[in-house]
Amino acid sequence: MAELTYRQAVAEGIAQEMERDPLVFLLGEDVADAGGAFKATVGLLERFGPERVRDTPISEEAIVGAAMGAAMTGLRPIAEIMFSDFLATCWDLIANQIAKTRYMTNGQISLPLVIRTANGAGSRFGAQHSQSLESWAMAVPGLKVVAPATPADAKGLLAGAIREPDPVIVFEHKSLYASKGEVPEGEHVEELGRALVRRAGEDVTIVALAAMVPRALDAAERLREEGVDAEVIDVRSLVPLDMSTIASSVAKTSRMFTVEENPRLCGWGAEIASIVAEGLFDDLDGPIVRITTPHVPLPAADELEDATVPSVERIVRAVLAAIG
112 and 219 part of one domain:
no
Q: What domain range is 206 assigned to?
A: 196-323
Mean pLDDT across 45-72: 98
Decide if 189 is inside a domain. no
Look at the alpha carbons of 221, 223, 225, 230 in this order and tell me if their dihedral is positive or negative.
negative
311 and 248 part of one domain:
yes
Q: Please give the positions annotated as active site.
A: 60, 129
Decide if 313 is inside a domain. yes
Best CA proximity match to 93, nearest among 12, 187, 204, 167: 167
284 and 150 part of one domain:
no
141 and 65 part of one domain:
yes
Rounded Cα–Cα distance for residues 151 and 284 (Å): 34
**pLDDT at position 20, please?**
98
Encode pLDDT of 181-214 as tens digits: 999 999 999 999 999 999 999 999 999 999 999 9
The H or E element spanning position 153 is helix 151-162
300 pLDDT above the threshold of 90: no
Rounded Cα–Cα distance for residues 196 and 279 (Å): 20
Encode pLDDT of 232-276 as tens digits: 999 999 999 999 999 999 999 999 999 999 999 999 999 999 999
Q: Phi, psi at residue 156, to the nearest 5°? A: -70, -45
Rounded Cα–Cα distance for residues 160 and 240 (Å): 13
Peptide bond into 112 cis (omega under 30): no
153 and 294 part of one domain:
no
| pLDDT band for position 221 (cuts 50, 70, 90) | very high
Q: What is the DSSP letter of 93?
A: I
| pLDDT band for position 179 (cuts 50, 70, 90) | very high
* Contact in structure between 56 and 66 (CB atoms under 8 Å): yes
